[in-house]
Amino acid sequence: MTSPTPLQREIRQRKPFPSVAQEAVVSVMRTAEVLRRRMAAVVEPSGITVQQFNVLRILRGGGPDGLPTLEVGARMIEHTPGITRLLDRLESKGLVRRQRCPNDRRQHLCWITQQGLDLLAGLDEPVIKHSHDALNGLTRDEQTALVRLLDQVRAELA
């Protein structure tokens, strides 16, 4: 019998995985959860969630023209059916503003406010540090290879 893999030990799994593919999928999911929790520890002291942080970054990138609500939802890292509620919470905190689209009254355009920009500016450095710390055990070439491999997986699933 083979000794348990690091992932098996971490999740306290006694039996081997049925395939390397299944172990790889579980490993990616577990890693994503660990990264999400650590990111939450960086952004939540500022009074926002990781998803709210993602929305603010999207809107900052949207520039002065703003973005339609559906476009914000499409750009989310972690898709959520409740984008309107997410924007409601950010608007109530004064971090975003919305108005009906003049060309299509069914749509809302969204912008990040100065308060939202200031909040993001305060998080930029800690978030960059988190990213570097998270992948500190990999060389730059390994990080590049990881990005390429994950891109391939997503492309195959799209």
Tens-place pLDDT, residues 85-139: 999 999 999 999 999 877 777 788 999 999 999 999 999 999 999 999 999 999 9
Residues 71, 104 contacting (CB under 8 angstroms): no
pLDDT value at residue 49? 95
Give the tens place of pLDDT for each residue, 11-34.
889 888 889 999 999 999 999 999
Tokens of 33: 């959860």
Q: Which residue has the tokens 């450095």?
A: 125
pTM for the complete prediction? 0.88
Please list, in sequence order, all residues whose beta carbon lies within 8 angstroms of the beta carbon of residue 60, skipping any fewer than 6 positions away: 112, 116, 117, 120
pLDDT at 2 over 90: no
pLDDT value at residue 107? 82
Architecture (CATH level 2) of domain 47-157: Orthogonal Bundle (1.10)
Largest CA distance in the chain: 67
Q: How far apart are CA 72 and CA 84, in angstroms?
A: 10
